Amino acid sequence: METNAVIIPVASGKGGVGKSLLTANLSIALAQAGHTTIAIDLDLGGSNLHYFLGVPNRFPGVGDFLKARRGELTDFLVPTSIPNLKFIPGDGKMSFMANIAYAQKMKLLRRIKDLSADYILLDLGAGSSYNTLDFFGLGKHGITVTTPEYPAIISMLGFLKSYLIRTIEKSLVKNRPVSRLLKELITKPIESQIPSIKELKNKLTTEEPEVKKLISKISKEFRPRIVFNRGTGPDDSKTASKISGSLRNVLNIEGDYFGFIFNDPVVNESVLNQTPLLTGYPNSIAAESITRIAGRIIKYWDKPVPNSSKLIFQHVQRSVNRV
């Protein structure tokens, strides 16, 4: 039976921007708020979510589930020291699991959808591999993390664009001529730029008005939740409003800004001590920012957040004044 859980995948374009930190501590905050939560390490080939949860790396996980080809994903649930929070490790103890076969991936996707919990959080690998894009598609929305630097933002926009193209591609499989045209458009030679989603829509729909409707529906329903990490002040949060322009003009989508996490040296300390940030350093500024994001998830996950970039800007200004 399919889960009623809210599935929240956490992705980014660039690596090392704080996905695992956020996934671990959001899971803790949601569990602490009384919601049954499962955190799954789906960064196959680079699993390290256990560090951020303070769980030793000695339990089998997704890698073993896929390799064994029998048993249930629920057999791999590991209890944590936090009530209401369970964890499924990745493939920290084996190699080459980043290259899972299509059938294995489909089985894993189905089993994740069968898990029973209020929230299921997925820590994904960086970048836009098909596996990562399909894991991201498990959630109705998803979180994308970026630091305020330009390369991280550009990579995040690249990830969102790949995800949209993948979703459009999947919904067009039955329409052979259009899906062939889509393939031609997105696999143009490197020197010619991949078209924006708007251009793609125009090119694809000259012949088929139905396709236009479909792409508009996909763009309308998908509202990524964007989290800025390692920020230092209000100037960083101003970037949020600039990103809105790119989302709208290039990708034809709207995003909701779900939070801003300060750069905080305590984060590194918590990782070195293998103590989760939220339990070991609950009053740190980074922990406070993440608890706030969990509150937004509980309140707003399924609703658009009006003026979210302005709200974050105001929150950052207040926090900076306090520091």
Ligand X SMILES: Nc1ncnc2c1ncn2[C@@H]1O[C@H](COP(=O)(O)OP(=O)(O)OP(=O)(O)O)[C@@H](O)[C@H]1O
Binding to ligand X (CB under 6 A) within 198-237 occurs at 229-230
Binding to ligand X (CB under 6 A) within 69-128 occurs at 126
Angle formed by the axes of helices 285-300 and 308-322, nearest 10°: 150
* DSSP reduced 3-state for 228: strand
| The one among 9, 13, 18, 61 contacting ligand X by CB under 6 A | 18
Give the C-alpha separation, 173 to 175, whole Å.
5
With CB cut-offs between 5 and 8 Å by kind, which of ligand X, Mg ion, none does residue 17 bind?
ligand X
Q: b or e along 286-309 (b: 16 or more beta carbons within 10 Å of the residue's beta carbon)?
A: bbbbbbbbbebbbeebeeebeebb
Note whether 156 and 13 are within 8 A (CB): yes
Told to check if 34 binds ligand X by CB under 6 A, we report no
Told to check if 147 binds Mg ion by CB under 5 A, we report no
Give the C-alpha separation, 293 to 78, whole Å.
25
Residue (43 or 64) nearer to ligand X, CB? 43
Told to check if 15 binds ligand X by CB under 6 A, we report yes
Note whether 196 and 162 are within 8 A (CB): no
Told to check if 20 binds Mg ion by CB under 5 A, we report yes
Query: CB under 6 A: which stretch of 16-24, 133-141, 242-250, 293-301 binds ligand X?
Result: 16-24
Told to check if 11 binds ligand X by CB under 6 A, we report no
| The one among 6, 8, 9, 12 contacting ligand X by CB under 6 A | 12
Query: CB under 6 A: which stretch of 28-36, 110-118, 129-137, 266-274 binds ligand X?
Result: 266-274
| The one among 100, 261, 293, 312 contacting ligand X by CB under 6 A | 261
- CA-to-CA dists, residue 186 to 87, 178, 213, angstroms: 37, 12, 20
- CA-to-CA dists, residue 83 to 28, 37, 87, angstroms: 9, 9, 12
Query: CB under 5 A: which stretch of 16-24, 127-135, 198-206, 265-273 binds Mg ion?
Result: 16-24
Residue 167: both structure tokens together:
């979703």
Told to check if 144 binds Mg ion by CB under 5 A, we report no
Q: Which residue is nearest to ligand X (CB)?
A: 15
Q: How far is the CB of 229 from ligand X (least distance, A)?
A: 5
Told to check if 20 binds ligand X by CB under 6 A, we report yes
Q: In the β-sheet with 119-124, what is the strand arrangement from edge to edge?
A: 78-79, 85-88, 37-42, 119-124, 6-11, 143-146, 225-231, 256-262
Binding stretches for ligand X (CB under 6 A): 12, 15-21, 43, 46, 126, 229-230, 261, 263-264, 267-268, 271, 286
